[in-house]
Amino acid sequence: MAEPRSGDQIRANTVLAARRRPVSLHTADGLTLVGELALPAATDPAATLICVHPLPTHGGMMDSHLFRKAAYRLPALADLAVLRFNTRGTRSAQGRSEGAFDDAVGERYDVAAAIEFAEFEDLPEPWLVGWSFGTDLTLKYGCDPGIVGAILISPPLRYTVDAELDTWAGSGKPLVAIVPEFDDYLRPAEALTRFARVPQVQIVAVPGAKHLLVGYTETVLDEIVLRVNSRAHPLPRTVP
């Protein structure tokens, strides 16, 4: 693949400069998870994204398109660290994490391992970014003292219970829900009702989008950067 040049349009497969390395996460119940950390090429990161992927039984993994593109672009365009990992039993091009899918139960240890890794690496201002199934894991297990806030992409609220939403409400931590207009599970009007018990939540409707947000990468990444490092918002559409 040709090296992107200044002024080139940023496309789906554009990979911008970053320090990237494979990492291993170790869970409290003895599993090793496959992951990758991408850092800005020449500077310290301003903040950190911990990406929690969609349902692995339906193809979700650390390489799901929004998270892959976040790792390709955001270290260079927004000075962000991007930590991606496969939850237990999940396979991607980087490899397969140990264990087996546990229906949002054992995955609590996977989320904890990712947060602990960020702390061990001294990654600044960590935000959880969940997508679909990953939003449920974020809401259930991610309200940690070390986490700044959370961004929820296409939240179905399938596994999350009211008590977990109340925990986020009580924490006061920022919570942003990016909700496609034509989502298969939770649409913007219903999201306003379901999240009403969390007073600080921001609901961002994405007109025209469906659950997987194909064709809306720039919209989603802009919304993330606006919250996590607003100085880099809006993201450029061409290579700097």
Q: Is residue 181 part of a domain?
A: yes
Cα separation values, 11 from 7, 8, 65, 73, 103, Å: 12, 9, 12, 10, 35
- The pLDDT value given to residue 1: 52
42-57 pLDDT, tens digit each: 999 999 999 999 999 9
3: pLDDT confidence band, cut at 50, 70 and 90? confident
Mean pLDDT of the chain: 97
Complete DSSP assignment for 130-176: EETHHHHHHHHH---TT--EEEEES---SS--HHHHHHHHHHT--EE
8 occurs within a structural domain: no
Matching residue, tokens 């959370």: 150
How far is it, in rounded angstroms, from Cα 220 to Cα 222?
5
DSSP string for residues in 48-68: EEEEE-S-GGGT--TTSHHHH
Structural domain including 89 reads 19-232
For 210-236, how does the pLDDT look when each residue is reduced to its tens digit (9 = 90+)?
A: 999 999 999 999 999 999 999 999 999
67 Cβ contact list (under 8 Å, min separation 6): 51, 53, 82, 84, 129, 131
Residue 2 or residue 170, greater confidence: 170
pLDDT at 141 over 90: yes
Query: Is residue 6 a part of any domain in this protein?
Result: no
The values of phi and psi at residue 95, to 5°, are: 135, 180
Give the model's pLDDT for residue 116. Answer: 98
pLDDT of the residue at 7: 92
Mean pLDDT of the region 121-141: 98
* Predicted confidence (pLDDT) at residue 2 exceeds the cutoff of 80: no
Distance (Å, whole) CA 132 – CA 125: 23
9 falls within a domain: no
Domain count, the chain: 1
In a domain, 14, yes or no: no
Q: Does 170 fall in a domain? A: yes
pTM of the model as a whole: 0.98
pLDDT tens digit sequence for 69-112: 999 999 999 999 999 999 999 999 999 999 999 999 999 999 99
E strand segments, the chain: 19-26, 32-39, 47-52, 80-85, 91-92, 95-96, 126-131, 149-153, 175-180, 201-206
How many CB atoms are closer than 10 A to CB 205? 16
Q: Is residue 11 part of a domain?
A: no
Give domain status of residue 169, yes or no.
yes
What does the pLDDT look like over 19-29, one tens digit per residue?
999 999 999 99
Q: What is the pLDDT of residues 188-198, one digit of tens each?
A: 999 999 999 99
Rg over alpha carbons for the chain, rounded to the nearest Å, is: 17
Domain at 196, CATH number: 3.40.50.1820
Residue 44's CB is within 10 A of a number of other CB atoms, namely 11
